[in-house]
Amino acid sequence: MAPATSVLSMIGNTPMLELTHLDTGPCRLFVKLENQNPAGSIKDRIGLSIVEAAERDGSLKPGGTIVEATAGNTGLGLALVAAQKGYRLVLVIPDKMSADKIRHLRALGAEVRLTRSDVPKGHPEYYQDMAERIVKETPGAFWASQFDNPANPAAHETTTGPEIWAQMDGQVDALVAGVGSGGTISGAGRFLKAKNPALKVVVADPEGSVVAPAVETGEVKYEGGSWLVEGIGEDFIPPNLDLSVIDDGVVVSDAEAFSAVNELLRSEGILGGSSTGTLLAGALKWCRRQTEPKNVVTFVCDTGNKYLSKAFDRTWLVEQGLTPREDSGDLRDLIM
Ligand code: PMP
């Protein structure tokens, strides 16, 4: 491979790995390694597409300010792109997000405003409402707005989906994805279904989130649930989520997600983040329900490096009730 001349050209074209050590029932299960993007996650793709769409339509001018409400990874993608292209970036982040993600954002030059995680949409301190307010108060500000910006699903419709199709040589029967903004599942799902209308798009959703129940019942009912996996699961249906693309929903508990992401590291050597655990556990559940052989693709959305003190720390897992204490023996020996 010839040397690249810009880190931005290294976004996307991520590798695909078949998982061969896990019990996948009658299916073959493949993961697209989005952790290998330069800023470390699947959201690098939309960082680039959102900024370039705004440059094209004039909503972002040279030296302008980009504002976003983000759980972290979109912030990292935007921070990479903003730093490379010379924009100021202000990020509003709920305070439940890992401290290392926040350090990483600040090191990339982003201005981080922390806000409360425990307030609902419509509350002035809800991260999206706060971002909207900062945009109004800042001259020359552009709101990236990943939840309703069409450049988000477009990134996945024009890059993620086509890459999957090409890597699988058209032999893909199901896509399993999570929903944060809805960009990945809607964009990649739309592209793959246009190629193969029989393909199933499956949402792997944290227990307590509204998406999988909405797919099953058509009703959106948030009952105050919360979950520890980061980056996916919703208390509303984001405008960028095209529910009509999703065929099936699988609900995954935190315990299943954290166990799956540890298993992925031990058995396949891949260090994924917590949402990867939800996707993998969801994909495995879906696979084991099948009676025919299927090729299933899911994602390693980001790297587990950011979650070493949570998902990969047995003491934390025990404290959260995610690993049975009786299995743990002497905790001092079990800090991994
Ligand atoms: N995994 C992680 C770690 C994320 O940060 C996100 C986005 N917040 C997703 C998955 C979900 O992707 P999308 O926003 O495209 O629905």
d(CA 87, CA 248): 40
- Whether 205 is in the pocket of ligand 1, judged by its Cβ within 6 Å, is no
43 is catalytic: yes
The ligand 1 atom nearest the CA atom of 41: 3
- The pair phi, psi for residue 261, each rounded to 5°, is -70, -30
Q: Look at residue 91 in the predicted model and tell me its pLDDT.
A: 96
Could you tell me if 91 and 70 are in contact, meaning their C-beta atoms sit under 8 angstroms apart? yes
Q: Which of 112, 109, 107, 101 is nearest to 40 (CA)?
A: 101
298: helix, coil or strand? Answer: strand
- Whether 278 is in the pocket of ligand 1, judged by its Cβ within 6 Å, is no
- The pair phi, psi for residue 89, each rounded to 5°, is -130, 125
- Helices in the chain by DSSP H: which ranges? 44-57, 73-85, 99-107, 127-137, 151-155, 161-167, 183-195, 211-217, 254-268, 274-289, 314-319
Residue 13 has pLDDT above 70, yes or no: yes
d(CA 43, CA 79): 11
Please tell me which residue in 43, 101, 285, 306 is annotated as part of the active site: 43
137: helix, coil or strand? Answer: helix
Task: Give 230-273 pLDDT, tens digit per residue.
Answer: 999 999 999 999 999 999 999 999 999 999 999 999 999 999 99
d(CA 145, CA 142): 9
Task: Please state the rounded mean pLDDT for residues 318-326.
Answer: 80
159: helix, coil or strand? Answer: helix
Whose alpha carbon is nearest atom 8 of ligand 1? Answer: 231
pLDDT class of 128 with cuts at 50, 70, 90: confident
Task: Give 176-231 pLDDT, tens digit per residue.
Answer: 999 999 999 999 999 999 999 999 999 999 999 999 999 999 999 999 999 999 99
Residue 279 has pLDDT above 90, yes or no: yes
Q: Please give the share of the chain, as a percent, with pLDDT higher than 70.
A: 96
d(CA 61, CA 262): 44
Q: Look at residue 324 in the predicted model and tell me its pLDDT.
A: 64
The ligand 1 atom nearest the CA atom of 178: 11
d(CA 79, CA 111): 9
